Amino acid sequence: MTAVKITASAGYLPEKVVTNDELSQLMDTSDEWIVSHTGIKKRHYAIAENTSDLATKVAQKLLQQAKLDATKIDLIIVSTITPDALTPATAAIVQKNIQASNAFAYDLSAACAGFIFALATAEKFIHSGMYQRAMVISAETNSKMMDFTDRTSAVFFGDGAAGVILEKSAGNTAYLAEKIATQGNTEVIHSGCVAPLQKVAADNYPQLDAFYQDGRAVYNFVTNDVNAHIAEFLADNGIKPTDLDLVITHQANLRLIENIAQHLALDIDKFAINVTEAGNTSSVGIPLALAQALEQGKRPKKVLLTGFGAGLAYGSILLDLSEFGK
């Protein structure tokens, strides 16, 4: 079996910080309401930057950290639900920006579970033995999809990017197990829906709707299905929750992370959390928290990554990062 390792991990948040007080000037909400319901204190918005710009900055950080020339990258996957355009792929723009001339590049859309799906996909390419290195980046500019009159959605989301470089390894593998799934429930969370053609006329043009989520349905999905999924995944791999050194879930909101911790009977200190300072960055939350933990010097032997979002898509990956950086 081909072993894989993670050789670089990096994140980027746009400069513009938007506080709860600022949002309260746009909609009927307050800092007290947002913090009590979500735990979110602030988020970052990309001003005059698009998704590819954020992803490119992460790509450059990854190459620098891994001490690699871009031509050594075989594959670039960008997980995003807010691409620069429907085509070309945002990943192709990143490839051009960093001059990764030997890589093939494409986008993957699995909403807030995007990093899980993208990492699992990249691992298969490396595992095949045909490719040596993959760059997996999650990048989102959620702010450009928001309806700033809708406090049930707009107060949650922020922008950012983060990712990893995955390489073939001659040693122990960092990639231990995975389990991914989709329920095929498309009504709970959606954005940017493009309607089919209704007429052939000069005034016909596509309409994209703003981001929407059914908060109560999302809560029920996580507290029931996602919690059950995590328990089953750990049991299938002979892992007890107390065996975990670090847990990184989708940074939906602090209350849901607290619920997952309670369900696993784990102290919240075992969870990497950035939602309070960065908001819900969709697929970015997991790789961003991973990068932040590794920057702090943590080298956990058993790391659980769990993502969940529109689709409804969800999944978990178990990693061993005890040798990261060696």
> Sign of dihedral through CA atoms 18, 24, 27, 30?
positive
Spot the catalytic one: 44, 250, 253, 274: 250
Answer yes or no: 20 catalytic.
Answer: no
Are β-strands 75-79 and 104-108 bridged in parallel, bridged antiparallel, or unpaired? parallel
The catalytically annotated residue of 112, 142, 229, 253 is: 112
Nearest Cα to Cα of residue 163 among 69, 294, 320: 294
Specify whether 204 is catalytic. Answer: no
The HSE-up count of residue 280 (CA atoms within 13 Å, CB side) is: 27
Is 112 a known active-site residue? yes
By the 8 A CB rule, do 136 and 305 touch?
Answer: no
Positions of E strands within the chain: 3-12, 16-19, 42-45, 75-79, 104-108, 133-141, 159-169, 175-182, 189-190, 212-213, 246-249, 303-309, 313-319
DSSP category for residue 69? -
Residues known to be catalytic:
112, 250, 280
